[in-house]
Structure 1
Amino acid sequence: MTTDSIGTPQQLRDPDYTPPLAKAIPLGIQHVLAMFVSNVTPAIIVAGAAGFGFGSNSPDFPELLYMIQMSMLFAGIATLFQTIGFGPVGARLPIVQGTSFAFIPIMIPLVAGKGVDGLAALFGGVFLGGLFHACLGTVIGKIRFALPPLVTGLVVTMIGLALVKVGIQYAAGGVPKIGTPEYGSLQSWSAALVVIFVTLGFKFFTRGMLSVSAVMIGILVGYLYALMTGMLSMEGIAGSWGNAAAFSLPQPFKYGFEFSLAAVIGFCLMAFVSAVETVGDVSGITKGGAGREATDKEISGATFADGIGSAVAGAFGGLPNTSFSQNVGLIAMTGIMSRHVVTIGGIFLIVCGLVPKVGAVIRTVPIEVLGGGVIVMFGMVVAAGISMLSDVDWNKRNMVIFAIALSVGLGLQLEPGAVQHLPDTLRILMTSGLLPAALIAIVLNLVLPEPLEPEATEEISGGLAHTETAPG
């Protein structure tokens, strides 16, 4: 990459440097394109779990549009919290914020089948959980010891495993079609497979922004495929566009405010995981973009911004925000560390969030097409968790911790009826699978003693066990 028209190598490593606007604006939009699909997907998933109708004539269609709109708006606002900052809030680094996948396994049981009635408790939990998340900014450096790769890798893997079912359901035709003859049809799967193959092609056979935006390009190609095969009509697109306003402001506590103990506990516990994820992203940005370690002030400020951004979003009907890891790789690729470039991207997101017609166009994406992208995205979440687990020393102690936590957590996800007699609050928390797995892993990691010397490890494969001596 040449630096003459953008800045000197020293300037490019400076978060306070602003490249010429002719370069800064496209670079800022690059950051938005890299995270755009991932940012709006959680809102669509939560709306689907709540039972909202996806057609433009559905009475719930305005609520779905509003949730998509808030995802864009508050991702942009939270990004400005990070890049510009105020007081202790914000890392003043090029951190892109977006709607977090980590909270989806908590949110789905809270809203499942309840429609709009389930949203007051959901957004009450987002708001209070966000405030708690912000408080973690004062102690994040002191609690990291309780969240080693064994715990964080397990939790991230569990998040992905909890969501892969959603990807398959979407690719097969969507939750409303389960049990119908058209569910799982060749037409549905063909659209999803087009997205997957195009995404793979652009990810591995192109470079630069084409590679970074592979999922978005895959969905665009899948969208065109849906138009050509009759899965989507121009009349449907026009109807969605016509039913959406040209400009709209967010409404504070649009769905009311309800204190739900299950929601508050769930969001507060997941805030620990989200905070550790942000610490990793901040460290990745400073290492990849500036060649240095992140300071305590930057880590604390980033955690504050995570929490305040989520709390503000919750007050207006938005979902929890966190730093987006895919943009960390983009900074390493471009070599441009400027926080003002990302500020431009944040402003672009805010503008999109104030124009409901943008959300209306997004919602015309057929669920099967979105399913193809979701399969890739959620699979990558699982892969990221496994990558984190590669840093674990797999002795007997850690294997037992992982085994018990995964068995209980995943088992409760697969068989929620096993705890049907628990009180509602505890039942919701347990059937998420994620929280019991995380709690078991954290507690066992703190109380079980570390082995004092190298030990024999038991390898079990195909029903046959044999003992090998661990390398010393």
Structure 2
Amino acid sequence: MAAEPRFRNDAAAVSVDAEPSGGPETSVKHPVDEVLPPVRMFTSGLQHVAAMYAGVVAPPMIVGPAVGLSAKETAFLVGASLFTAGIATLLQTLGFWRVGARLPFVNGVSFAGVTPMIAIGKGRGHDGIAVILGAIIVASVLGFLLAPYFSKLVRFFPPVVTGTVITLIGVSLLPVAFGWAQGTQGAADYGSMKNIGMAALTLVIVLALRKLLRGFFQQIAILLGLVIGTVIAIPMGMTSFDAMRDADPIGFPTPFHFGAPQFEVSAIVSMCIVMLVCMTESTADMLALGKIVGRPADERTIEGGLRADTIGSLVSQFFNGFMASAFAQNIGLVAMTKVRSRYVVATGGGILILLGLCPMAASAIALVPLPVLGGAGVVLFGSVAASGVQTLASAAMEKGENALIVATALGIGLIPIAAPDFYQAFPKDVLVVLDSGISTGCVVAIVLNLAFNHLGAGKSVEEPEQQAVPEAAAAIH
């Protein structure tokens, strides 16, 4: 009797034993390595861009004015962020040598660095940006050197830890969707019934499309929902075409546009801390995505992913971008659409590069009103949390210790969401870590798992944990 197909955990085509007695072998591609038809590839990649667009442009739109840049210079930062996010995404999905996770893994500008970057460059204009870039260059080199050692932490991520972290990722992202649903913060209609109603309508449209459509169109329900929501929003006056009218058709992000990088010790220390936070979150994201796509992330995958993060961050500085890190919202998109091809996400990376080179095209995606994004975001981010719950189902929760680990880690990880000012008396450098519920929840889950399930229990720290990731993946699929 023929054996079941076995997918190897790498980026190559995998072998399938056609006969158990050493008969002929057939080459079968893992869904992660599948190349889809061109139209489907493009539309699915565009859907990833639509899901991440607001997250990519938000940090430069916040940091630019804070450091004293003009509206035109801030727009330049936005284009640079899109361009460098595309480069970082290609490094992750396609990779080279031992760089890249080779998973459908989207990279963009990390929110973790927004607060320290504002503190570094506030009111300093071009000099402020130059200092930020210099600090990120040093942090990127440090992260690249640490990647082989940091990746070994995978053995400390059994289902009780990964399930908790994945759930936290989804829950932590939901407030972003709720913020989008209210509209532009500071605007007269922020939080209005019209904005929230538009978000609710978009949510209903996405759910209806998922229910009624089949096949390919069902998979791009999010993109269709965003398009339909935007069309409905136009006669309601919720979509502005000003950005598109004022944008140039072509614009290359000039290297070191704001001057040569400057290196200040305090800024370097802050951004090195941010880099460690980003590496922690990326590790958790890779483990989550590995489960969802059926290719569990091992040490080599995580090492390659972290190298892509850090090289992407380094290259970004030459083109005036910021620190590159994983985008968890796109993990939710993969989970919902079931499109697992890394080449789809690579196509999205190519689209991001083109958007960065064509400000007019980039502004076209900006036509999607924030409330429309918010409605779709509820489904996207909720899907991530649901994947975490699925993982926890395989975590032997009947053991009191595991239930206690999850309860404590979730509780502490939710502090920045439930009580944003909880850590306000702590030093600013410490807040970089504490304000990330994903990072704090991850650390707490790892420490408690070691304390309750290993130390003093006569167990090897490595033995059960090395098998935990594939077992969790099997439970999901």
State the match for 2:91 in structure 1.
81
2-structure distance, mates of 1:327, 1:419:
32
Match among 185, 210, 213 for residue 206 of structure 1: 213
1-structure distance, mates of 2:435, 2:344:
42
Residue 438 (str. 1) matches residue 442 (str. 2) = yes
Match among 282, 302, 307 for residue 274 of structure 1: 282
Relative to structure 1, the CA distance from residue 25 to residue 278 in structure 2 (aligned partners, 3 Å threshold; closer, same or farther) is: same
Unaligned runs of 5+ in 2: 1-15, 17-25, 459-477
State the match for 2:367 in structure 1.
364
Relative to structure 1, the CA distance from residue 12 to residue 35 in structure 2 (aligned partners, 3 Å threshold; closer, same or farther) is: farther
After superposing the two structures, state which structure 1 stretch, 319-328 or 410-419, moved more.
Answer: 319-328
Match among 3, 27, 43 for residue 30 of structure 1: 43
Match among 196, 199, 206 for residue 189 of structure 1: 196
Deviation at 1:308, TM superposition (A): 1.8
Secondary structure in structure 2 of the residue aligned to 1:222: helix
Unaligned runs of 5+ in 1: 1-8, 288-292, 454-472
Residue 69 (str. 1) matches residue 88 (str. 2) = no
Residue 171 (str. 1) matches residue 187 (str. 2) = no
> How many residues matched?
419
1:146-177 Cα offsets, whole Å, 9 max, x none, are 22232333233323333322322321233214
Relative to structure 1, the CA distance from residue 377 to residue 341 in structure 2 (aligned partners, 3 Å threshold; closer, same or farther) is: closer
1:87-115 Cα offsets, whole Å, 9 max, x none, are 33245x56453327xx53x3454467968
Secondary structure in structure 2 of the residue aligned to 1:176: coil
State the match for 1:400 in structure 2.
404
After superposing the two structures, state which structure 1 stretch, 319-328 or 390-399, moved more.
Answer: 319-328
1-structure distance, mates of 2:390, 2:236:
39
- The question of whether the paired residues in 1 share the 8 Å contact of 2:116 and 2:432 is answered with yes
Q: What one-letter code is carried by the residue in structure 2 that aligns with 1:25?
A: P
Relative to structure 1, the CA distance from residue 153 to residue 297 in structure 2 (aligned partners, 3 Å threshold; closer, same or farther) is: closer
- The question of whether the paired residues in 2 share the 8 Å contact of 1:246 and 1:355 is answered with yes
Deviation at 1:303, TM superposition (A): 3.9
1:115-144 Cα offsets, whole Å, 9 max, x none, are 897867776676555445544542466321
1:351-407 Cα offsets, whole Å, 9 max, x none, are 222111122222233222222222332222322332332232222222222222332
- The question of whether the paired residues in 1 share the 8 Å contact of 2:279 and 2:306 is answered with no
Q: What one-letter code is carried by the residue in structure 2 that aligns with 1:88?
A: R
Q: What one-letter code is carried by the residue in structure 1 that aligns with 2:207?
A: L
Residue 148 (str. 1) matches residue 158 (str. 2) = yes
Secondary structure in structure 1 of the residue aligned to 2:361: helix
2-structure distance, mates of 1:436, 1:330:
27
Deviation at 1:268, TM superposition (A): 0.9
Relative to structure 1, the CA distance from residue 122 to residue 24 in structure 2 (aligned partners, 3 Å threshold; closer, same or farther) is: farther
1-structure distance, mates of 2:347, 2:158:
35
Secondary structure in structure 1 of the residue aligned to 2:96: coil
Residue 347 (str. 1) matches residue 350 (str. 2) = yes
2-structure distance, mates of 1:85, 1:176:
41
State the match for 2:20 in structure 1.
none
- The question of whether the paired residues in 2 share the 8 Å contact of 1:262 and 1:425 is answered with yes
1-structure distance, mates of 2:300, 2:366:
40
- The question of whether the paired residues in 2 share the 8 Å contact of 1:98 and 1:322 is answered with yes
Deviation at 1:224, TM superposition (A): 0.9
Relative to structure 1, the CA distance from residue 413 to residue 386 in structure 2 (aligned partners, 3 Å threshold; closer, same or farther) is: same
Match among 366, 370, 375 for residue 378 of structure 2: 375
2-structure distance, mates of 1:163, 1:51:
23
Secondary structure in structure 2 of the residue aligned to 1:228: coil
Relative to structure 1, the CA distance from residue 67 to residue 398 in structure 2 (aligned partners, 3 Å threshold; closer, same or farther) is: farther
1-structure distance, mates of 2:347, 2:436:
37
- The question of whether the paired residues in 2 share the 8 Å contact of 1:193 and 1:372 is answered with yes
2-structure distance, mates of 1:276, 1:60:
37
1:12-53 Cα offsets, whole Å, 9 max, x none, are 72899997xxx7532431341231122212124435655969
1-structure distance, mates of 2:47, 2:219:
6
Deviation at 1:279, TM superposition (A): 4.9
Deviation at 1:414, TM superposition (A): 3.0
1:331-354 Cα offsets, whole Å, 9 max, x none, are 9658xx6x7776555434322221
1-structure distance, mates of 2:382, 2:31:
32
**Superposed CA RMSD:** 4.0
Match among 245, 248, 259 for residue 251 of structure 2: 248
Match among 234, 246, 254 for residue 227 of structure 1: 234
Secondary structure in structure 1 of the residue aligned to 2:308: helix
State the match for 1:6 in structure 2.
none
Secondary structure in structure 2 of the residue aligned to 1:267: helix
- The question of whether the paired residues in 2 share the 8 Å contact of 1:140 and 1:300 is answered with yes
Deviation at 1:72, TM superposition (A): 3.5
- The question of whether the paired residues in 2 share the 8 Å contact of 1:39 and 1:72 is answered with no
1-structure distance, mates of 2:344, 2:354:
16
Percent identity, please: 26
Relative to structure 1, the CA distance from residue 75 to residue 330 in structure 2 (aligned partners, 3 Å threshold; closer, same or farther) is: farther
Residue 265 (str. 1) matches residue 273 (str. 2) = yes
2-structure distance, mates of 1:227, 1:218:
14
Match among 308, 312, 316 for residue 313 of structure 1: 316
Relative to structure 1, the CA distance from residue 422 to residue 203 in structure 2 (aligned partners, 3 Å threshold; closer, same or farther) is: same
Residue 422 (str. 1) matches residue 426 (str. 2) = yes
State the match for 1:466 in structure 2.
none
State the match for 1:99 in structure 2.
108
1-structure distance, mates of 2:181, 2:345:
33
1-structure distance, mates of 2:143, 2:337:
26
Residue 217 (str. 1) matches residue 224 (str. 2) = yes
Secondary structure in structure 2 of the residue aligned to 1:175: coil
Deviation at 1:60, TM superposition (A): 5.4
Deviation at 1:63, TM superposition (A): 5.1
Relative to structure 1, the CA distance from residue 276 to residue 189 in structure 2 (aligned partners, 3 Å threshold; closer, same or farther) is: closer
TM-score norm. by structure 2 comes to 0.72
TM-score norm. by structure 1 comes to 0.73
Relative to structure 1, the CA distance from residue 274 to residue 116 in structure 2 (aligned partners, 3 Å threshold; closer, same or farther) is: farther
1-structure distance, mates of 2:100, 2:373:
32
